[in-house]
Amino acid sequence: MISNLMRVIFVAGALAIAGCASSRSLDMSFNDLSANADLKGVLFVDRSHDYSDVDITVYEGRLLLTGTMRSDGGHKKLVENAWKADGVEQIIDEIFVGDKTPFGQGFEDARIDQTLRAKMIASDDVKSGNYKIAVSNGVIYLIGSAGAQREIDKATNLARSISGARKVISYVTLRNAKLAE
């Protein structure tokens, strides 16, 4: 597994780069980065399956798994391993069981991701730090939390406007709805 010192160095560097852009607390950002690093360490050690086509996105303890696994057994083991990561409170499983993502589709997914990030940053109606984006086989997944439904709608519409996007799935929650629970 990743040593604690390596994890602290990684997390500190990532926070320095990304933490300022988010409206979330530094604690939440640290917890998410720690959970992400912890799960990547677990998957790196587990050589029983190929996890190279899996994307891990953590936001406020919610873990979004996207990408592909080649077998049902590998998929089951991935979810089992995901629960081992510290800080994971919920798993959102969007894994497809089938062939590995074609090389060209990987480039297209990266283009879609970067285009959406740029549109969100440029938008006055969307706080880009409220969202994390995952793109797999042309499907855009949004996870995060926003202060108003109109912001979520705007972010979703921005995602739908990207050429090559086949579908948009949102796991964005309303912050005030969380406070009411």
Tell me the residue type at 147: G
DSSP 44: H
Q: What is the overall mean pLDDT for the chain?
A: 87
Which domains, and CATH codes, for the chain? Answer: 4-97 (3.30.1340.30), 103-180 (3.30.1340.30)
Q: How far is CA 84 from CA 15, 45, 107, 149, 171, in A?
A: 23, 13, 31, 33, 22
- Residue 58: alpha-carbon gap to chain centroid: 5
pLDDT in tens, 21-74: 445 567 778 888 989 999 999 999 999 999 999 999 999 999 999 999 999 999
Helices of type H across 83-148 = 103-122
What's the pTM? 0.81
